[in-house]
Amino acid sequence: MYNLAPGNILQNMYIKARIREMPDSYETFCEIGSGNGVISNIFLEHGYRGFSYEINPESCKINNHLNNGYIQNSNYEIKNMDFLADKIDNKVDVIITCMVIEHLPDEKVSQFFTHCRSILNKNGIIVTLVPSNKKYWGIEDETAGHYKRYEFNDFNVIASQHNLKLKHIAGLTYPLSNFLFRISNHLVRKSEKWKKDLSIDERTANSASGVRSIKFKTEFPDYFKYFLNEITMYPFYLLQVFFKRNKNCMVIYSELSNQ
């Protein structure tokens, strides 16, 4: 099965573009909530070395398979544990977390950024991708165990609270995800409505990359790779960049730098 949805492809394309803008001195990264390892793989393919955290063991297995060569070369390590529970000695240039902090209550979000800052090199950055725009709260937020959807100004507040500088911020996946929103909600409701009966921690654990199986949402027939790829999605990538400050964007990308 092919497992890259249109929104994921657009997000990954933006991450790649931003990596190309990062200083040549950057060499190390930490991914928090690495899921199936696709984003870690992007950094590894750009010459970085690093480590990641993921609480779901099935996702760790998929990540291990994808990035096994880098693991064997000691350029990458996967930790099947909670990032906040680990005492980390190594410092890194880039911390990246994709679709994670929306699963945390406010007090843990504060702990999260405090912990991130403690392992960040001078002039390093924290890259965060989150679902955005409260008006798009839907069944997927409920079944995935989200506490909130973020707004652009939330990152000014986080920066101020943690003595960080908001270096870059952009809205992603507009307008494509907005067009697909109702279809996406229908597919999630049909396949995952039962998750609403779980605890919020259980919903979070079951939302990790590699464990969700929703046809035409998280999984596609193999031949879809000929229709859903970076070449065919490039016009939507250009739209994404053009509308990156649109208030209706459903994903926010931010870079917070260590002052």
pLDDT digits 0-9 by tens, 59-115? 999 999 999 999 999 999 999 999 999 988 889 999 999 999 999 999 999 999 999
* Mean predicted lDDT score pLDDT of the chain: 93
Q: Reduced to 3 states, what is the DSSP secondary structure of residue 28?
A: strand
pLDDT digits 0-9 by tens, 17-29? 999 999 999 999 9
Domain ranges of the chain: 6-258
Q: What single string gives the DSSP state of each residue in 187-205?
A: HHHHHHGGGGGS-HHHHHH
User: Which CATH code, of 3.30.70.1290, 3.40.50.300, 3.40.50.150, 3.40.50.970, is assigned to 6-258?
Assistant: 3.40.50.150
What does the pLDDT average to over 213-227? 82
Whether the Cβ atoms of residue 115 and residue 84 lie closer than 8 Å to each other: yes
pTM: 0.94
Q: Collect contacts of 195-203 with beta carbons under 8 A, ≥24 apart.
A: 195/143, 195/144, 196/142, 196/143, 200/145, 200/147, 201/145, 202/145, 203/142, 203/143, 203/144, 203/145
> Which residues does 49 contact at the CB level (< 8 Å), separation at least 6?
27, 28, 29, 70, 75, 76
